[in-house]
Amino acid sequence: MTICSTAFVTLGRAQASALGRPDLPIAVIAHPFGLRTREEVRGIAEQCVDDIARLVAGNKP
Amino acid sequence: MNESAPNSARFEAPDDLEAINRLYRERRWSDGLPVVPPTVERVERMLRHARRPREEVVARVAPGFGAATVERIAINAVLAGCDPEALPVLIAATEAVVEPQFNLQGIQATTNPVAVWIIVNGPAAQKLGVNATFNCLGQGAWANATIGRALRLVLQNIGGALPGEMDRATQGQPGKFTFCCAENEAASPWEPLHVERGYGSGASTVTVVGAEGTMNMNTHTKDAGELLRAFAETMMHPPSNDYCHGGEPWLALGPEHAEILSRAGLSKAEVKRRLWEGSKMPARRMTGKDLLRVQDSRGAELGKIGPDTLLPVSHRPEDIHLIVAGGPGTHSTYIPSFGNTQAVTREITE
């Protein structure tokens, strides 16, 4: 699996298909990060950690 | 690459330039400008200048990893309006951009405006009419315009880097339409780029550079020290990928500026060393957030980075690159790089 921000999902899906893995699980995180503080980024990470763990374990979203 | 791919599909199209351009526009097979229809006859004429079989895969082009066969490169060269004799340059350029150190994946998919600048050296430049003198980075020379455009079409149509899809450039830059010149070897007081990079003076080469853009440096000074100071101060540019990652910035020196440096007894290596020293930038000029990025990227190289740290633009002086280009005048051009990229030179062998 991989992790992608919303701005890069198109790229991620297209590239996964190009590399023969169209079903690659992608955990999607809201973009952008650039305007967020480190604490806010930490909060986003905590919100999506369960999704990431599930995808790493091989379960689809 | 020891790989082959099927020949390209053939489309029946009306014998009507406007209809064909509508088709290319709808399918996003163009760069936004009208194309030359790649008829079987035109592609065959182009392919006469390749030694390899049409189906041979020259490279897999990121980020889509499409197979750049000799034929597909030829088709894009026709689309761009290239003379058939230019095909070997494009084949060499395609081989060059996929070298790992060039980081084509990053260059194609980044939000950065990076374009691929092609520099042609050796006899091929003159034979193909690649302009190295007046306005060599501007319009007017068929070879410069079409070779640079053809590589862009290879990157887009074979590599799959369509703007807004896999090409994620926030704004891009005009050099993404075309960016190609030759070195003005006749006006250079130093060895040309390809000789510096290990090729014989009689060889023809193509060098690809991940270039962020062009910044003109107009100075009338005749003093080598002042000239180097003006260049070094132009290089100091806080929101810069070169300073952030340790890059490979380029200078295209006008012949008059090159002569001033040479008359002062400076070798190319010494010019690079002095530019590297002179362009060290106090880290405090960067924003706090960017300083954190520099710390992440260059901490192993530079240690703890504080506001008083002097950041070199590149890891080593020799990572600053120089060519001599252009005609008479007091102008040189600074060309910062994408940062995470190294230029690649390939001999034109077809």
Q: What is the pLDDT of residues B67-84, one digit of tens each?
A: 999 999 999 999 999 999
Question: Which chain B residue's Cα is nearest to A38?
Answer: B289
CB burial of B109-144 (b: ≥16 within 10 Å; e: otherwise) equals bbebbbbbbbbbbbebbeebebbbbeebbeeebebb
Q: Are residues B51 and B195 in the same domain?
A: yes
Residue B8 pLDDT more than 90? no
Are B179 and B150 a contacting pair, CB within 8 Å? no
Name which of A1-10, B106-115, B257-266 the model is least confident about. Answer: A1-10
pTM: 0.94
Q: Are residues B135 and B81 in the same domain?
A: yes
Q: Do B166 and A7 touch (CB under 8 A)?
A: no
- Kindly determine whether residue B160 and residue A18, on different chains, have CB atoms separated by under 8 Å: yes
B166–A11 C-beta distance less than 8 A = yes
- Please give the residue of chain A at the shortest CA–CA distance from B106: A11
* Amino acid, res. B40: V
Which of B183, B82, B84 lies closest to B131 in space, CA to CA? B183
- B38-58 average pLDDT score: 96
Q: Is the dihedral of CA B77, B83, B89, B91 positive or negative?
A: positive
Angle CA B80–B206–B255, to nearest 5: 100
pLDDT for A60 beyond 70: no
Query: Which residues from chain A sit within 8 angstroms of residue B64, using beta carbons?
Result: 14-15, 18
B7: in domain: no
Are residues B84 and B158 located together in one domain of the fold? Answer: yes
Residues B235 and B110 in one domain: no
> pLDDT higher for A33 or B28?
B28
Which of these ranges, A32-36, B224-228, B320-324, has the smallest mean pLDDT? Answer: A32-36
Quote the pLDDT of residue B185: 98
Mean pLDDT rounded to a whole number for chain B: 96
For residue B248 the two structure tokens come to 């490979």
**Inside any domain, residue B3:** no
pLDDT > 90 in chain B, percent: 95
Asked if residue B9 belongs to a domain, the reply is no
Q: Is B160 on the interface with A (CB under 8 A)?
A: yes
Residue B6 belongs to a domain: no
- B200-254: pLDDT as tens digits: 999 999 999 999 999 999 999 999 999 999 999 999 999 999 999 999 999 999 9
Q: Which residue of chain B comes nearest to A11, CA vs CA?
A: B166
Flag if A10 and B66 touch (Cβ within 8 Å): no
Share of chain B above pLDDT 70, in %: 100
Residues B87 and B193 in one domain: yes
Give tens-digit pLDDT for B268-309. Answer: 999 999 999 999 999 999 999 899 999 999 999 999 999 999
Is there a single domain that holds both residue B194 and residue B220? no
How confident is residue A5, by pLDDT bands cut at 50, 70 and 90?
A: confident
What is the domain partition of chain A in residue ranges?
Answer: 2-56
The answer to whether residue B10 is domain-embedded is: no
Decide if A18 and B63 are in contact by the 8 Å CB cutoff.
yes
B332: nearest Cα among B247, B206, B232, B239:
B232
Phi, psi torsion values for A53, nearest 5 degrees:
-60, -40
* Partner-chain contact A14 B165, CB within 8 Å: yes
CA–CA distance, B340 with B217 (Å, rounded to integer): 24
Residues B221 and B318 in one domain: yes
Tell me: pLDDT of A35 over 80: no
The residue assigned the tokens 């996003």 is: B28
The parent domain of residue B121 ranges over 17-212+342-347
Tokens matching residue B152: 């862009």
CB contact under 8 A, B166 and A10: yes
Judgement on whether residues B192 and B288 belong to the same structural domain of the protein:
no
What is the arithmetic mean of pLDDT over A6-34? 86
Q: Are strands B331-335 and B215-218 parallel, antiparallel or unpaired?
A: antiparallel
pLDDT value, residue B7: 81
Q: Tell me, what's the pLDDT at A59?
A: 66
Q: How confident is the model at residue A19 (pLDDT cuts 50, 70, 90)?
A: confident
Minimum-distance CB partner of B109 among A11, A19, A34: A11
Question: How many cross-chain Cβ pairs, A to B, lie less than 8 Å apart?
Answer: 26
Residue scoring higher pLDDT (B40 or A1): B40
DSSP one-letter string for B148-212? HHHHHHIIIIIT---BTTTB--SS--GGGT--EEE--GGG-SS--HHHHTT--TT--EEEEEEE-
Q: Do B267 and B184 belong to one domain?
A: no
pLDDT at site B3: 85
Q: Are residues B75 and B182 in the same domain?
A: yes
Residue A34 has pLDDT above 80, yes or no: no
Q: How many domains does chain B have?
A: 2
Cα nearest neighbour of A17 on chain B: B64
Q: Quick check: A39 pLDDT over 80?
A: yes
Q: Is the pLDDT of residue A61 over 70?
A: no
Could you tell me the pLDDT band of residue B97, with boundaries at 50, 70 and 90? very high
Rounded Cα–Cα distance for residues B241 and B195 (Å): 28
Q: Does B159 touch chain A (CB under 8 A)?
A: no
Assess whether B118 and B129 both reside in one domain. yes
Q: Per the domain annotation, does B271 fall within a domain?
A: yes
Instruction: Return phi, psi of residue B340, to 5°.
Output: -90, 60
